[in-house]
């Protein structure tokens, strides 16, 4: 079964809490605090597996929850870190935020991607000992791991897409020019999922072609199978528009081309503008001197397309098709790789807020006039920020701005010069 669109739930592990403990040893009367730090939680990591070409493994498993970090212990023992979860996806998988639909990451390279960051472990009480506070009876809790729902959408990494009505010979052509072994039969909708094939043009060169099934009139509205698989040609650099020039099924190739191109434009203007080669299949049973064929040639030429006659049955014209395609691909732009649509600030807000229950922000005012800003997501954000680093501090301020915290402070009467406290971090408000 071919599956190319799923929604899953991800939860990174929480950081373990720091320990409150004191050194106990015979003949040592004042051992002092020795509470260990909590362990880091497990990350949720995505990695490309080139052996996969479907999202079928996610049909039944839709929740991925990483292990929490262990709490710290006495004798300065650090809590055990939680184990990461690595999720394998096919090349070309888009990871999207389920709430906004924005692209988080395009998994089109070999680099692993941390989608949900784990919570940090909290400090043990030994970190809080000072000359005036020699017996700290408190430690720091770990921060929460990121939690989110994401959509996985597979857009195949094929440079050439074979489009056309059912039974025009797309699968047969792909089988002839590559090692792909698609199912081939003499009835419509034999092909029920996209097939990929590597077409060799030399010892170390070639291109990937994809047979896209089920394109018929009305595909953009869900007719046939085309609507389900149109996304797989969005990355293509070139389209082979395959038609049955013999008319063996009583179809007019001109009308077929116009109908398919209309569906492409209705689905995406980008698809409609992709360069096309018109591949006239079944030329071995076609009278090329027939008047209808001449009219077809005139139509293709007038439309600005290049026409190639081929026969999947005999192999005639296929080498020429591969040669011309290879030359065109050298001149065309590279495969589309989608950039993330979520800014680093948005990502930090999502990471800190985690689940929906953690989004509340509470602002109160102390007796001394200081504005106190609290919220579980802010506690997580503070735990993830290095306030000793200038760039990290500026980033923290941009996150507060984008999340609306500064606007909320103004609504509650905060003005330039007023003191604001967010857990352990205090600053003077400047608009």
Contacts of 155 (CB under 8 A, 6+ apart): 92, 93, 94, 231, 232, 234, 235
Residue with tokens 């030399």: 202
| DSSP reduced 3-state for 185 | coil
Q: Which pLDDT score, from 0 to 100, does residue 200 have?
A: 87
| Cα–Cα distance, 409 to 420 (Å, whole number) | 9
Q: Which pLDDT score, from 0 to 100, does residue 182 have?
A: 58
Q: What is the DSSP letter of 220?
A: G
| Cα–Cα distance, 212 to 383 (Å, whole number) | 48
What is the residue-wise DSSP string for 289-335? TSHHHHHHHHHHHHTT-EEEE--TTT-TTHHHHHHHHHHHHHHSPPP
Contacts of 358 (CB under 8 A, 6+ apart): 144, 375, 376, 377, 380
Burial of 250 (0-12, 13-18, 19+ CB in 10 A): exposed
Q: Which pLDDT score, from 0 to 100, does residue 190 have?
A: 47
| Cα–Cα distance, 216 to 260 (Å, whole number) | 7
Q: Which two tokens stand for residue 221?
A: 């509205």
Domain ranges for the chain, please list them: 1-154, 160-331, 344-428
Of 388, 410, 396, 391, nearest to 351 by C-alpha is: 396
Q: Which two tokens stand for residue 296?
A: 């077809």
Task: Write phi, then psi, for 270 (nearest 5 degrees).
Answer: -65, -45
Q: Which pLDDT score, from 0 to 100, does residue 219 have?
A: 47
| Cα–Cα distance, 76 to 18 (Å, whole number) | 10
pLDDT in tens, 59-95: 889 999 999 999 999 989 999 999 999 999 999 999 9
CA 56 to chain centre: 16
| Cα–Cα distance, 331 to 325 (Å, whole number) | 10
Do 155 and 92 contact (CB within 8 A), yes or no? yes
Q: Which pLDDT score, from 0 to 100, does residue 341 have?
A: 86
| Cα–Cα distance, 167 to 349 (Å, whole number) | 50
pTM (predicted TM-score): 0.76
Q: Strands 419-422, 371-374: parallel, antiparallel or unpaired by DSSP?
A: parallel
Q: Which two tokens stand for residue 150?
A: 């994401």
Of 46, 5, 94, 27, nearest to 338 by C-alpha is: 94
* 344-428 CATH: 3.30.300.350
CATH class of the domain comprising 1-154? mainly beta
Look up the CATH superfamily of 160-331: P-loop containing nucleotide triphosphate hydrolases (3.40.50.300)
Q: Which two tokens stand for residue 362?
A: 């509470």
pLDDT in tens, 242-260: 999 988 777 899 999 998 8
Contacts of 219 (CB under 8 A, 6+ apart): 225, 226, 227, 230, 263, 267
Q: Which two tokens stand for residue 89?
A: 């996806």
Q: Which pLDDT score, from 0 to 100, does residue 192 have?
A: 55
36, HSE (Cβ side, Cα atoms, 13 Å): 17
Mean pLDDT per block of 10 residues along the chain (431 residues) reads: 83 94 79 91 95 87 96 93 96 92 92 92 89 86 89 90 87 85 53 75 82 66 58 87 87 90 85 92 89 93 95 93 93 88 78 58 89 85 82 88 89 90 87 72
Do 14 and 117 contact (CB within 8 A), yes or no? no
């Amino acid at each position: 079964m071919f599956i190319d669109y799923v929604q899953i739930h991800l939860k990174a592990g929480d950081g373990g809490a720091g320990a409150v403990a004191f050194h106990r040893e015979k003949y040592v009367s004042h051992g002092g605090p020795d509470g260990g730090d909590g362990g880091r939680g497990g990350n949720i990591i995505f990695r490309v597996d080139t052996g996969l070409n479907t999202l079928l493994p996610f049909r039944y498993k839709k929740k991925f929850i990483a292990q929490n970090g262990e709490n710290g212990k006495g004798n300065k023992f650090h809590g055990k870190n939680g184990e990461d979860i690595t999720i394998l996806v096919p090349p070309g998988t888009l990871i999207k935020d389920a709430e906004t639909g924005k692209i988080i990451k395009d998994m089109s390279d070999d680099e692993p991607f941390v989608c949900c960051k784990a919570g940090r472990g909290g400090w043990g009480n030994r970190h809080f000992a000072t000359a005036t506070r020699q017996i700290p009876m408190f430690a720091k809790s770990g921060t929460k791991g990121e939690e989110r729902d994401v959509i996985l959408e597979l857009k195949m990494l094929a440079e050439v897409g074979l489009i056309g009505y059912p039974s025009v010979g797309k699968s047969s052509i792909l089988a002839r020019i590559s090692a792909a072994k698609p199912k081939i039969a003499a009835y419509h909708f034999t092909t029920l999922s996209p097939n990929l094939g590597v077409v060799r043009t030399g010892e170390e060169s070639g291109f990937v072609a994809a047979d896209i099934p089920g394109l018929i009139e009305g595909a953009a509205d869900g007719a046939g199978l085309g609507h389900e698989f149109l996304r797989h040609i969005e990355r293509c650099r070139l389209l082979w528009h395959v038609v049955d020039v013999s008319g063996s099924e009583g179809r007019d190739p001109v009308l077929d081309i116009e109908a398919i191109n209309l569906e492409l434009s209705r689905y995406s203007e980008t698809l409609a503008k992709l360069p096309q080669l018109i591949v006239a299949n079944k030329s071995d049973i076609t009278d090329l001197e027939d008047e209808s064929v001449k009219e077809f040639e005139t139509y293709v030429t007038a439309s600005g397309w290049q026409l190639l006659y081929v026969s999947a049955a005999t192999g005639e014209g296929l080498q020429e098709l591969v040669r011309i395609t290879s030359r065109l691909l050298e001149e065309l732009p590279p495969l589309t790789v989608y950039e993330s649509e979520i800014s680093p600030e948005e990502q930090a807000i999502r990471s800190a807020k985690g689940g929906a229950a953690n989004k509340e922000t509470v602002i109160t005012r102390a007796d001394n006039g200081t504005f106190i800003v609290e919220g579980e997501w802010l506690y997580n954000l503070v735990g993830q920020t290095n306030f000793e680093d200038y760039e990290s501090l500026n980033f923290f301020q941009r996150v507060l701005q984008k999340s609306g915290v500064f606007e909320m402070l103004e609504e509650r009467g905060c003005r330039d010069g007023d003191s604001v406290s967010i857990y352990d971090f205090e600053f003077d408000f400047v608009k």
